[in-house]
A and B are shown apart, each in its own frame.
Chain A
Amino acid sequence: MSAHGSSDSINLTLHVWRQSGPEDKGGFEVRRLNGVSTHMSFLEMLDVMNEQLVAEGREPVAFDHDCREGICGMCSLVINGQVHGPIPEITTCQLHMRHFKDGDSIYIEPFRAGAFPVLRDLVVDRSAFDRIIAAGGYVSVATGNPQDANALPIPKRNADLAMDAAACIGCGGCVAACPNAAAMLFTSAKVSQMALLPQGQPERDRRVLAMVQQMDAEGFGNCTNEFECMAACPKGIDVSNIARMNREYLRASMCSAEGA
Chain B
Amino acid sequence: MLSWLSRTASSSIGKKVLMALTGLCLIGFLVVHLLGNLSFYADADGAAFDHYAETLDSNPLLPIAEIGLLVLFVAHIALALRVTAQNRDARKKGYAVRTDHGARTPGSATMMLTGLVILVFLVVHLAHFRLQKAEGVSMAGLVRHELGKPLGAGVYVVGMIALAMHVSHAFQSALQTLGINHPKYTPLARKFSLVLGVVLGLGFATFPLYVFFLGGNA
Interface residues of A (CB under 8 A from B): 15, 28, 78, 80-83, 107, 109, 112-115, 177, 179-182, 184, 212-213, 215-216, 219-228, 230-232, 239-240, 242-250, 253-254, 259-260
Report chain B residues within 8 Å CB of A184: 12
Closest 6 CB pairs of A and B: A247-B179, A243-B181, A81-B99, A221-B90, A231-B101, A180-B87
- Whether B16 pairs with A222 at a CB distance below 8 angstroms is yes
B63 within 8 A of A: no
Known: A225-B173, A243-B176, A246-B177. A83 touches B90 (CB 8 A): no
B28 within 8 A of A: no
Report chain B residues within 8 Å CB of A223: 12-13, 16, 177
- Count of residues in B whose CB is under 8 Å from the partner chain: 44
B89 within 8 A of A: yes
Q: How far is the CA of A247 from the CA of B177 in the complex (A)?
A: 8
A-B contact pairs, 19 of them (CB 8 A): A107-B97, A109-B96, A115-B90, A179-B104, A181-B90, A182-B12, A221-B90, A222-B86, A223-B177, A224-B83, A224-B87, A227-B104, A231-B103, A232-B101, A243-B180, A246-B17, A250-B13, A253-B8, A253-B14
- Whether B181 pairs with A240 at a CB distance below 8 angstroms is yes
- The residues in B between 182 and 206 inclusive whose CB is less than 8 angstroms from any CB of A are 183, 186
B109 within 8 A of A: yes
Please, which residue of chain B has its CB at the minimum distance from the CB of A254?
A: B8
Looking at A81, A232, A254, the one whose CB has the most chain B CB atoms below 10 A away is A81
Report chain A residues within 8 Å CB of B92: 114
B39 within 8 A of A: no
Please, which residue of chain B has its CB at the minimum distance from the CB of A233?
A: B101
Q: How far is the CA of A254 from the CA of B100 in the complex (A)?
A: 36
Looking at A184, A222, A227, A242, the one whose CB has the most chain B CB atoms below 10 A away is A222
Distance of B205 from chain A, by nearest CB (Å): 26
Report chain A residues within 8 Å CB of B17: 246, 250
Report chain B residues within 8 Å CB of A216: 11-12
Q: How far is the CA of A231 from the CA of B103 in the complex (A)?
A: 6
Distance of B201 from chain A, by nearest CB (Å): 20
Distance of A216 from chain B, by nearest CB (Å): 5
Known: A181-B87, A250-B13. A109 touches B97 (CB 8 A): yes
Please, which residue of chain A has its CB at the minimum distance from the CB of B105?
A: A226
- The residues in B between 42 and 75 inclusive whose CB is less than 8 angstroms from any CB of A are none
Q: How far is the CA of A180 from the CA of B173 in the complex (A)?
A: 15
- In the complex, per-residue mask of B96-120: 1 if CB is within 8 Å of any chain A CB, else 0: 1111111111001101000000000
Report chain A residues within 8 Å CB of B89: 114, 219, 221
Known: A222-B12, A222-B16, A244-B181. A228 touches B95 (CB 8 A): no
- Whether B91 pairs with A81 at a CB distance below 8 angstroms is no
Report chain B residues within 8 Å CB of A221: 12, 86-87, 89-91
- Whether A82 pairs with B99 at a CB distance below 8 angstroms is yes
- Whether B179 pairs with A243 at a CB distance below 8 angstroms is yes
Report chain A residues within 8 Å CB of B183: 240
B27 within 8 A of A: no
- Whether A109 pairs with B95 at a CB distance below 8 angstroms is yes
- Whether A114 pairs with B91 at a CB distance below 8 angstroms is yes
Known: A231-B103, A249-B13. 15 other contacts (CB 8 A): A107-B96, A109-B95, A112-B93, A115-B90, A182-B90, A215-B12, A219-B90, A221-B91, A222-B86, A224-B83, A224-B108, A225-B169, A231-B102, A242-B176, A249-B179
Report chain A residues within 8 Å CB of B128: none
Distance of B70 from chain A, by nearest CB (Å): 24
- Whether A228 pairs with B101 at a CB distance below 8 angstroms is yes
Looking at A28, A232, A243, the one whose CB has the most chain B CB atoms below 10 A away is A243
